[in-house]
């Protein structure tokens, strides 16, 4: 009987250690300047969201190689379906909360509507007024989901945020929701003058903070360790 109890205790202890192990952790991301910047070889070279993640990994004794760069759709699928997987940077939406634990906030940011500076005919000081216009959005993006829930009838989705900036500048859509740093970075990378666009109303009700979010099947101990590490390096 004593042997059996000892064996059970050992098994439980082992199971607890495995449950809290960091061995299963993999982080997935994709290129999205200025938050995640990739070098010519396709590997992460820097970015606003990368720096805090690298600091957390270093604090936990994990190598940068735990980060894999893949297309965003695959990163999201990995995080949705694979315990121990995380995606960053990602914003909260109701749909994503079903699959992910938004464990670590990486960046705070505000989203605004942008329009061509020359389009003085566009007057969108409120959400109700903005619904009259066509809005460029990224397919599956949190800003698309938010505007859809607000009843925007003329959302124009594409697969890439840089394409949307081109569409805005060429007059193919009226408004574009973006962060200030994101818009500035996209214009610079496209070789476009920042004076071409004008910042409009802030989408104040939109939670636009960016997170590292884990699959909901990830061991609570693992998530707790990442949260503690984030607090330590903040």
Mean pLDDT (the chain, rounded) = 90
pLDDT in tens, 39-91: 888 889 999 999 999 999 999 999 999 999 998 889 999 999 999 999 999 99
Measured between alpha carbons, how far is 227 from 221 in angstroms, rounded to an integer? 10
Q: Could you give the C-alpha distances from 152 to 78, 113, 155, in angstroms and in order? A: 30, 13, 7
In a 10 Å sphere around its CB, with 0-12 CB exposed, 13-18 middle and 19+ buried, how is residue 9 labelled?
A: exposed
Q: Which residues pair with 44 in a beta bridge?
A: 38
Q: From the CB of residue 163, how many other CB atoms can be counted at a distance below 10 Å?
A: 15
* Distance between start and end Cα atoms, the chain: 50
Is residue 136 scored above 70 in pLDDT?
A: yes
Measured between alpha carbons, how far is 4 from 225 in angstroms, rounded to an integer? 32
Measured between alpha carbons, how far is 218 from 231 in angstroms, rounded to an integer? 20
Q: Can you read off the two tokens belonging to residue 44?
A: 């992460």
Is residue 163 scored above 80 in pLDDT?
A: yes
pLDDT in tens, 104-113: 999 998 999 9
């Amino acid at each position: 009987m004593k042997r059996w109890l000892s064996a059970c205790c050992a098994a439980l202890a082992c199971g607890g250690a495995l449950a809290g192990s960091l061995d299963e952790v993999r982080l997935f991301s994709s290129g999205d300047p200025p938050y995640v910047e990739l070098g010519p070889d396709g590997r992460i070279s820097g970015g606003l969201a990368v720096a805090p993640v690298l600091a957390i990994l270093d604090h936990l004794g994990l190598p940068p190689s735990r980060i894999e760069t893949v297309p965003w759709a695959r990163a999201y699928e990995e995080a949705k379906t694979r315990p121990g997987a995380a995606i960053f940077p990602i914003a909260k939406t109701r749909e994503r909360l079903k699959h992910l634990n938004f464990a670590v906030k990486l960046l705070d940011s505000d989203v605004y509507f942008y329009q061509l500076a020359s389009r003085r005919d566009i007057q969108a000081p409120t959400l109700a007024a903005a619904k009259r216009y066509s809005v460029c959005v990224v397919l599956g993006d949190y800003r698309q989901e938010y505007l859809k829930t607000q009843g925007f009838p003329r959302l124009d989705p594409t697969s890439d945020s840089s394409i949307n900036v081109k569409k805005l500048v060429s007059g193919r859509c009226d408004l574009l929701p973006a962060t200030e740093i994101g818009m500035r970075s996209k214009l610079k990378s496209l070789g476009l003058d920042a004076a071409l666009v004008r910042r409009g109303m802030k989408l104040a009700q939109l939670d636009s903070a960016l997170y590292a979010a884990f699959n909901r099947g990830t061991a609570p101990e693992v998530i707790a360790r990442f949260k503690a590490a984030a607090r330590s390096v903040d």
